[in-house]
Amino acid sequence: MLNPYSSSLTDKEWEIIEPLLPKKKQTRPPTWTKRQILDGILYQLKNGCNWRDMPRDLPPFSTVYRYYKEWKDTGTFTAIMEALHATAREQSKKIKMDNFNHH
């Protein structure tokens, strides 16, 4: 886990989401990974803070907001949220079945 926030992605969630993100040609290594940027977006959305008030251990708000806007405008963010929702639904079904089987 990269960040100690409840909004941070798990490794399993990241495995599902990473293929949904657009690939860009890199001319130099990025300062922040896409996972760190997405963790920043999820932190802001969960906590409702101003973009400028994000914790300092996350990428800069300008970077996080730029990716959020780009991914929102291209439909990438919708795909990410749908994938996270589907994952949460599956986990919920498993928990219900486990509880049912133990009674």
Higher pLDDT, 14 or 94: 14
Query: Does the residue 62 lie in any domain?
Result: yes
Query: Does the residue 16 lie in any domain?
Result: no
pLDDT at 93: 65
Query: Does the residue 61 lie in any domain?
Result: yes
Q: pTM, whole model, 2 decimals?
A: 0.81
What are 78-98's pLDDT values in tens digits? Answer: 999 999 888 877 776 666 656
Question: Whole domain around residue 60: which residue ranges?
Answer: 32-101
User: Which two three-digit tokens encode residue 12?
Assistant: 């399993």
The total number of structural domains in the chain stands at: 1
Q: Are 51 and 61 in contact (CB under 8 A)?
A: yes
Query: Does the residue 26 lie in any domain?
Result: no
* Radius of gyration of the chain from its Cα atoms, rounded to whole angstroms: 16
Query: Does the residue 74 lie in any domain?
Result: yes
Separation CA 85–CA 103 (nearest Å): 28
